[in-house]
Structure 1
């Protein structure tokens, strides 16, 4: 069966096309001689979030300035010398690695080549124009990402966090019933949430939107870490353990129904098992309460909370 969802055009794709169109229109109005650099700047600055777009824009501008400056120096001292052209490229690349500007390396190298190979006498003016070209493209991309269909990273993050919670809850339920569970998948999901939470914090710092309580999200992730470690520990114990009445009550509170004979006695090893299980269940309840609080504070729609 054909999955038609892969044919859907993403919002980032649409905004990239819009950014290129607007930036090229501006380049035409300003009668810029190399509008291609305007388009390249717009394409490379468009990212999945406002903060990423802003950071990418800053990095692209720094990369352009580096490429322009190195290209300008080499074009004055070693004009049209292809050996020093290669040396210049090496220097540009090395500067980017030193300052960890790897994502702007390609654009910087292109700007260096354009300036070094330029035969015009007004090299300084040409270099300045390349910086202006890139700035226009970058500025348009950042503004469009900010004002046009701003990425809703807040809701997406919280829905992902809710999904991780549900997966963790299901994993605990499966584990109690003696089924095999994958802790690796849980850890991977939590790492993705951490990255998204950092991105959300950067977005909220950059925009004037309501500030998300990213600290609460970090607390939930910390609780999930504790659950992960507790499951990892009791996984080494025997799977068939008698659950205490206190933990059975907590399971019912979490809508987990476990059938167990009331006559089953708690053995020594069961005490250790129930200690860790109690920590897991209380942490699940705590996570659920915190998650609900965050969603209410950030006005997430009720249908997205379930």
Structure 2
């Protein structure tokens, strides 16, 4: 069984340790509350940690109000505590503070249990709020200072892995050199990686307003490129699915159309690989030669469309989804190449 300890695990442990050290030095009781707050507050990026602190302030304010009202109006029996928790969760969700719900519940329970005989113990409540605050700020400090994540490297690693797998499938599917079960497994893995990349892009996109970015212009330029790369991956995955679904039927109907489709898939796959290599500065693509290649691809696409003229509906239902996927992928790759060339020109000027 594989056993990996990632940076986030290490940072969570350090945040807990820092929290316990601070609460121990101050001499506060119930240190477990602060430790739990530190665990809940550890976020995958610095900006998300900062946003989390703002959400904690708002959500705990809501929790504090309802906890005090609950103590004064219905007491601190189990039923009243549960009712206040339900109402606070509903309001936090309504305000869009879903991420801090667990921490708010922890705060409410601690505050309500702090009361004695339906009276408010303000000293106890302040201590409990301080425990939560120490845990949250400890997590933020550790997140900023320890293993600050290289989001661009992580995201591009996901994109590169998904791209290699899609390129491989686009090579083997037209030639039928892979078993169907293995193909299905690879297809599911590609979909999972693309979804992970899209989710991680949201994290890196949040960092746009971060004060900790050194080369902000380069960063902003790169996240635009990454967004287009993910779009290209989605289009390639759609093409893979259409090839799996329709290519056999096209070969039965017309070997000529099948040949044109395979030629187009091979050309666009090479184009995709070259754009990524150009982004990595491992390949210099001559713009004139690239224009000739793209014109040749356009001619092949037009030939495929002309070959379909006058065809019956059945042929269109098999060929058109693939042709449409190729055209959409070609369009997105063309846009991505333009952005990569702009980056290349600006890098050369620096």
TM-score higher than 0.5 here? yes
Provide the rounded CA distance (Å) in 2 between the counterparts of 1:105 and 1:278: 45
Could you say if the C-alpha distance between residues 289 and 78 of structure 1 is closer, same or farther in structure 2, counting changes exceeding 3 Å?
same
Cα distance, 1:109 vs structure 2:
2.3
Provide the rounded CA distance (Å) in 2 between the counterparts of 1:35 and 1:163: 43
Q: TM-score, normalised by structure 1?
A: 0.74
Q: Secondary structure of 2:129's match?
A: helix
Q: TM-score, normalised by structure 2?
A: 0.66
Contact 2:171 2:266 (8 Å CA) reproduced: no
For residue 246 of structure 2, the aligned residue among 236, 241, 257 is 236
Count, aligned residues: 287
Match of 1:303 in 2: none
Cα distance, 1:218 vs structure 2:
1.7
Using the TM superposition, name which of 278-287 and 146-155 deviates more.
278-287
Please give the residue correspondences for 1:142-157 in structure 2 after superposition, counting only pairs within 5 Å. Answer: 142-157=140-155
Q: Secondary structure of 1:26's match?
A: helix
Per-residue deviation, residues 28-86 of structure 1 (Å, max 9, x unmatched): 33343443332222111113332333334433443333333222222233334444333
Gaps of 5+ in 1: 257-265, 300-306
Contact 1:64 1:134 (8 Å CA) reproduced: no
Match of 1:250 in 2: 267
Using the TM superposition, name which of 18-27 and 51-60 deviates more.
51-60
1:219 aligns with 2:217: no
Could you say if the C-alpha distance between residues 34 and 294 of structure 1 is closer, same or farther in structure 2, counting changes exceeding 3 Å?
farther
For residue 127 of structure 1, the aligned residue among 122, 125, 128 is 125
Contact 1:96 1:105 (8 Å CA) reproduced: yes
For residue 199 of structure 2, the aligned residue among 179, 186, 195 is 195
Provide the rounded CA distance (Å) in 2 between the counterparts of 1:93 and 1:40: 18
Provide the rounded CA distance (Å) in 2 between the counterparts of 1:130 and 1:223: 50
Cα distance, 1:215 vs structure 2:
1.7
Contact 1:71 1:115 (8 Å CA) reproduced: yes
Provide the rounded CA distance (Å) in 2 between the counterparts of 1:79 and 1:245: 74
Cα distance, 1:92 vs structure 2:
2.1
Contact 1:158 1:295 (8 Å CA) reproduced: no
Match of 1:260 in 2: none
CA RMSD of aligned residues (A): 4.0
Could you say if the C-alpha distance between residues 174 and 288 of structure 1 is closer, same or farther in structure 2, counting changes exceeding 3 Å?
farther
For residue 212 of structure 2, the aligned residue among 204, 208, 215 is 208
Flag the structure with higher helix content. Answer: 2
Cα distance, 1:194 vs structure 2:
1.2
Match of 1:302 in 2: none
Contact 1:23 1:136 (8 Å CA) reproduced: yes
Using the TM superposition, name which of 120-129 and 272-281 deviates more.
272-281
Contact 1:42 1:141 (8 Å CA) reproduced: yes
Per-residue deviation, residues 249-280 of structure 1 (Å, max 9, x unmatched): 83795689xxxxxxxxx993699689668648
Provide the rounded CA distance (Å) in 2 between the counterparts of 1:224 and 1:111: 43
Provide the rounded CA distance (Å) in 1 between the counterparts of 2:207 and 2:61: 26
